[in-house]
């Protein structure tokens, strides 16, 4: 797929999701928490207004899907941004200063990578207690290593180049060289990783919701909907399939955006 198309499609879908999340109260045809036991597990289009059907408690699937984007996007943006900030900072310092800073960060990354990430996140949230903040903390604590590893390698490479030497011959301090010379060259990689990380964060949040460790069950989340739908998959497939589809498309969009950005920002692939 051409890179521009990837960026437009991926970015467009994410923009659409942002708008949906912002205007959820206006867009949702029903209150996502309103139960209507008379209309429970109604197939899409059977009950008037319930276009995507209802779940086992008669709640509107479309409305719950719409409200679910709020949690998904909040986690995607906040957790990914914080993981990016932490990982990039440590990666820059490790790659630039080397020596004991590098040794410490690298060992930390090695230790982190030794744990299976999903298990670690479940463990973390179990310790921290369920809730949105815990989910975000868990994702940050686990995924900063992705940024640290890549940024460290990239920084090492950039700091060796002559423009960094020329800057120090100009009397620029380490801070100035890192901030003004190295960071702008590392930024493209960071942006790509950030986009991919948002997709990962959405999945992790869904996993944690699925096992009931995310926000409380009265807040609609895609993961929570999938967990509920799983139990009645043979009676009401729509309760499972629509949130699964939303999750799939969202992650796909973030990945496409990331891939598109990578090609777009890479000067060797340009022109």
Partner 1 sequence: MSPVIDIRNLSARSAVGPILRDVSLSVNAGEVMALVGESGAGKSTIAKAVLGILPAGIEVTGGNIFFEGTDLLALSPARLRDMLGVRIALIPQDPLTSLNPARRIGDQLTDGLRLRAGMNRKRAFDRAMSLLNDVHIREPERVLKRYPHELSGGMRQRVLIAQAFSLNPHVIIADEPTTALDVTVQKQVLRLIRDMQREHKTTLLFVTHDLGVVAQICDRMTVLYGGKVLEQGFTAQILKNPQSPYTRALLAASPRYDQPEQSLEPVPEALIAELQREISA
Establish if 103 lies at the interface with partner 1 (CB under 8 A). no
Say whether residue 169 binds partner 1 (CB under 8 A): yes
Q: Cα–Cα distances in Å, from 193 out to 83, 108, 183, 229, 255?
A: 10, 20, 15, 32, 10
Are 229 and 143 in contact, with CB atoms under 8 Å apart? no
Q: Tokens at residue 56, please?
A: 């086992």
- Is residue 184 a contact residue for partner 1 (CB under 8 A)? yes
Considering only the stretches 22-30, 80-88, 102-110, 160-168, report the one whose residues sit in contact with partner 1 under the rule CB under 8 A: 160-168
Angle at 37 between CA 36 and CA 42, to 5 degrees: 85
Cβ(95)–Cβ(159) below 8 Å? yes
The residue among 29 and 173 lying less far from partner 1, judged by its C-beta, is 173
Measured CA distances, 4 to 153, 178, 241, 264 (Å): 28, 31, 30, 8
Among 18, 113, 161, 249, binds partner 1 (CB under 8 A): 161
- Dig out the tokens for 184 from the structure: 């702008």
In whole angstroms, the minimum distance from the beta carbon of 104 to partner 1 comes to 19
Three-class SS state of 54 = strand
Count of Cβ atoms closer than 10 Å to residue 3 Cβ = 18
Interface residue with partner 1, options 43, 108, 187, 244 (CB under 8 A)? 187
Indicate the residue among 162 and 218 with the shorter CB distance to partner 1.
162
- Give 122 or 183: the residue with its C-beta nearer to partner 1: 183
Q: With binding defined as CB under 8 A, does residue 171 bind partner 1?
A: yes
Contact segment (CB under 8 A) with partner 1 among 27-35, 64-72, 166-174, 215-223 equals 166-174
| Residue 34 interacts with partner 1 (CB under 8 A): yes or no | no
Radius of gyration of the chain (CA): 22
Binding status of residue 45 toward partner 1 by CB under 8 A: no
The binder of partner 1 chosen from 4, 34, 165, 266 (CB under 8 A)? 165
User: Interacting stretch for partner 1, rule CB under 8 A, among 24-32, 85-93, 167-175, 249-257?
Assistant: 167-175
| Measured distance CA(43)–CA(232) in Å, rounded | 12
119 lies in the site for partner 1, by CB under 8 A: no
Residues that bind partner 1 (CB under 8 A): 161-163, 165-173, 176, 180-181, 184-185, 187, 267
């Amino acid at each position: 797929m051409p890179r521009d198309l990837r960026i437009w499609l991926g970015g467009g879908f994410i923009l659409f999701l942002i708008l949906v999340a912002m205007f959820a109260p206006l867009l949702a045809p029903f209150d996502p928490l309103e139960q209507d036991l008379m209309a429970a597990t109604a197939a899409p289009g059977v009950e008037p207004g319930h276009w995507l059907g209802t779940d086992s408690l008669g709640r509107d699937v479309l409305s719950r899907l719409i409200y679910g984007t709020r949690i998904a996007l909040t986690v995607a943006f906040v957790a990914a941004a914080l993981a990016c900030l932490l990982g990039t900072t440590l990666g820059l310092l490790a790659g630039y200063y080397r020596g004991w800073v590098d040794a410490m960060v690298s060992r930390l990354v090695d230790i982190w990578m030794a744990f299976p990430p999903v298990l670690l996140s479940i463990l973390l949230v179990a310790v921290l207690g369920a809730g949105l903040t815990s989910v975000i903390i868990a994702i940050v604590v686990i995924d900063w290593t992705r940024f640290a590893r890549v940024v460290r390698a990239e920084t090492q490479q950039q700091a060796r180049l002559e423009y960094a030497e020329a800057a120090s011959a100009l009397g620029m301090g380490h801070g100035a060289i890192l901030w003004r010379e190295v960071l702008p060259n590392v930024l493209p990689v960071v942006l790509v990783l950030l986009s991919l990380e948002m997709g990962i964060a959405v999945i992790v949040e869904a996993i944690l919701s699925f096992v009931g460790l995310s926000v409380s069950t009265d807040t609609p989340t895609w993961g929570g909907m999938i967990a509920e739908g799983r139990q009645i998959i043979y009676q009401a497939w729509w309760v499972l399939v629509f949130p699964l589809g939303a999750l799939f498309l969202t992650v796909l969009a973030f990945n496409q955006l990331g891939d598109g950005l990578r090609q777009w920002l890479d000067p060797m692939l340009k022109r």
